[in-house]
Amino acid sequence: MVTQITSFGRSGLYDWMMQRISAVVLSAYSIFIIGYLLLNPDLTYDQWSALFESTAMRVFSLLTLLSIGIHSWIGLWSISTDYLKATGVRFFFQSLCGLVMFIYVVWGVQVLWGL
Amino acid sequence: MLVSIYRYNPEKDDAPYMQDYEIELPAGKDLMVLDVLNLLKAKDPSISYRRSCREGVCGSDGMNMSGKNGLACITPVSVAAKGNKLVLRPLPGLPVVRDLVVDMGQFYKQYEKIKPFLINDTPAPAIERLQSPEDREKLDGLYECILCACCSTACPSFWWNPDKFVGPSGLLQAYRFLADSRDTATQERLGDLDDPFSVFRCHGIMNCVNVCPKGLNPTKAIGSIRSMLLQRAT
């Protein structure tokens, strides 16, 4: 058993599962958005803002936003533990990733709710 | 034929280098790479490599032949050589002791970690622990591993984290004991593997499957371990 405190869920299985679940959410969202844009070639601003006014879309978007955070955290954490061998550098990189993700989530919430 | 061999003698050389040998191979025969090495060693006795059974059973002569890991004794020169050139290097990722001989310590340490022996806490029967033919069949494709390290040393995850990631060979063996109906330590074994490194550093690129000289499939075994971990935790 290898002890790790900086991974997302502290368990390999949990990280692995979250990586897959978030990947499914991200693909579903991408397919939906691309499909929506293709089916509405003459998209107007009103239509677009109406889409993001609906609660279902906000739930889906927020879920996607959190999935981006989780997915990238697990992915970048793996990369940093593979390639960054100096503990200080690795910890700095991981902290930076955490901070950027947090900013994206807060910012995304702001954008979604038009705050 | 031109044979280029990785040479390094830590007592004499500051750094490893490639040495080229020109050798005339007997016509009408497809020698194995080990045969070529033996011919070269007769000319230059300083070339070092491990070999024992010379028929793909002992796993001693694992090496990197023109970029691909394999056993020199069962790899024909026609397969290993590119053009008229054969490049021989030690297994990648492990410390080199001398020439083609690597220090397998890290590899064995990972093997030791998965407790490669049957654990059974029930009283031993008078003769032997029986197993149904169906249960025995589950071990096929797992027990045949000869620990040559060709797979683990072809795995980038093992290169980057040889101290934490068990590696394809060790995990194939881990599953061999997880799948054994006579083993009673399944839960403890799974508990030891549920961290972000031991099993989950495998990203399924299947280099291990590509190089295994015994045709085994460590990636499949790792998938089975994941399924067992998932079943246990959900």
pLDDT tens figures, B40-62: 999 999 999 999 999 999 999 99
Could you give the C-alpha distances from B83 to A103, B2, B17, B79, B127, in angstroms and in order? 55, 10, 22, 10, 57
- CATH label, B105-233, candidates 3.40.50.1110, 3.30.379.10, 1.10.1060.10, 1.10.10.10: 1.10.1060.10
For residue B178, which of B233, B132, B114, B110 has the smallest C-alpha distance? B114
Number of domains in chain A: 1
Q: Do B199 and A12 touch (CB under 8 A)?
A: yes
Would you report the helix, strand and coil content of chain B in percent, each value rounded to 5? 35, 15, 50
- pLDDT value of position B234: 82
* Percent with pLDDT over 90 in chain B: 97
> Phi, psi at residue B82, to the nearest 5°?
-110, 120
Interface of B with A (CB under 8 A): 156-157, 160-161, 164, 191-201, 226, 229-230, 233
Q: Which residue of A has its CA nearest to B188?
A: A1
Q: Is residue A6 part of a domain?
A: no
How far apart CA B75 and CA B86 sit, in angstroms, is 12
Q: What is the mean pLDDT of residues B19-29?
A: 93
Using a CB-CB distance cutoff of 8 angstroms, which residues of chain A are in contact with residue B194? 1, 11-13
Instruction: State the average pLDDT over residues B74-100.
Output: 95
pLDDT of residue B172: 97
- Give the pLDDT band of residue B34 (cuts 50, 70, 90): very high
Whether the CB-CB separation of B212 and B151 falls below 8 Å is answered with: yes
Asked if residue A40 belongs to a domain, the reply is yes
Show residues of chain B in contact with A1, CB under 8 Å.
191-195, 198
Q: How far apart are CA B129 and CA B122, in angstroms?
A: 10
Give the pLDDT of residue A115. Answer: 65
Thinking of the domain B2-102, which architecture would CATH place it in?
Roll (3.10)
Q: In chain A, whose CA is at the least distance from the CA of B201?
A: A78
Residue ranges in chain A whose pLDDT is less than 70: 115
Tell the residue number behind the tokens 């063996």, with chain if given: B173
pLDDT in tens, B99-139: 999 999 999 999 999 999 999 999 999 999 999 999 999 99
Find, in chain A, the residue whose alpha carbon is nearest to that of B110.
A1
Q: Which tokens is A1 given?
A: 């058993």
Mean predicted lDDT score pLDDT of chain B: 96
A91, part of any domain: yes
The two three-digit tokens of residue B41, written as one number? 């060693």
Asked if the Cβ–Cβ distance from B160 to A16 is below 8 Å, we say no
CB neighbourhood size of A109 (10 A): 15
Predicted TM-score of the model (pTM): 0.90
Give the mean model confidence (pLDDT) for residues B8-24: 96
Q: What is the pLDDT of residues A49-66, one digit of tens each?
A: 999 999 999 999 999 999
Q: In the structure encoding, which two tokens stand for residue A115, read together?
A: 């705050």
B140-151 average pLDDT score: 96
What confidence score (pLDDT) does residue A22 get? 97
Across the interface, whether the CB atoms of B198 and A12 are under 8 A apart is answered yes
Q: Is A83's CB within 8 Å of B157's CB?
A: no
CATH number of the domain where residue A94 is located: 1.20.1300.10
**Domain limits for position A22:** 12-113
Q: Is residue A105 part of a domain?
A: yes
B181-222 pLDDT tens trace: 999 999 999 999 999 999 999 999 999 999 999 999 999 999
Dihedrals φ, ψ of B140, to 5°? -65, 140
Confidence (pLDDT) at A114: 76
